[in-house]
Amino acid sequence: MAKNDILGESLWDAYSNKVTTLMNNPQHQGEITEDEAASRGNKLIVADFGAESCGDAVRLYWEIDPKDDKIVNSKFKSFGCGTAIASSDVMTELCIGKTVQEAVKITNIDVEMALRDTPDVPAVPPQKMHCSVMAYDVIKKAAGLYLGVDSESFEEEIIVCECARVSLATLQEVIKLNDLTTVEQITDYTKAGGFCKSCIKPGGHEDREYYLVDILADTRKEMDEEKMKAAAESGMGGDFEAMTLVQKIKAIDAAIDESVRQFLVMDGGNMEVIDVKDADDNIDVYIRYLGACNGCSSSTTGTLYAIESTLKEKLSSKIRVLPI
């Protein structure tokens, strides 16, 4: 069957040649019986896994030499789309010759990479990445059955994006280190959310425990709290008017970060503190607008009022904000 007959002309370039070849001609499809394995002195493990999001399922057969836990033969049956067949076939091939302990380290990324024609071009379109995830999950299931443990025990970290194998801890660290403010930036830095997209926000093809939008919001909140704490330790918790210039600027930045900056960034803008000067009965805070805020009509009305009100409430009623 021709490639475009399987997938449709519009999807011609979305799949690697290796994927479409294995759709038609898988090398390891079939089954191994208990009697066959026993006749060779080996143990048979049969694991089933189904993906609720798409209805696909795979059955994995491992023939294992109990003397060294090595997988001497492996077959699969796939109940699903052509991509699931191709992914399962490569997954099965990757298992052969490895010990069970080595095989469980095979990830969906390994499967997808093995399906590529060239290293830098994805083998399948984003919405089909879950097929390689299914292959990864059935390996864990088989290893758990052989070793007598829960398959989830092989997962050492909380994985948020299964397609790209990105953990919760990695996402939090990348957001903090690079001061990320959007989900698009998270995807650029980590690839999380770049494939099936179900981890970005609720409403995707499968429910998730963690979503990028919530992780970003929670991490940004934590970052703001840390800044406020640092500012308090440097003097913000005391008398603002008695602070040094550096302490005043830190306190102002912390207050802005906590209550205002996120709204400026959402509209494509930002601001920075240029100087702080005592002027008779006022404390003048000189700021400069950045991005979309620069030249915006609201920068001298609503936005300016919001910034000044925040600083008056949190730091001193004498503050006067002056844009330059």
DSSP 25: S
| Residue positions annotated with a catalytic role | 54, 131
Angstrom distances, CA of residue 242 to CA of 200, 233, 253, 274, 321: 46, 14, 17, 19, 18
Type and span of the H or E element at 59: strand 57-65
- Asked if residue 150 lies in contact with residue 144, where contact means CB atoms within 8 angstroms, the answer is yes
Residue 288 CB burial class (10 angstroms; 0-12, 13-18, ≥19): middle
> How far apart (Å, rounded) are the C-alpha atoms in residues 313 and 309?
6
Alpha-carbon Rg for the chain in angstroms = 28
| Cα–Cα dist 75/98, whole Å | 14
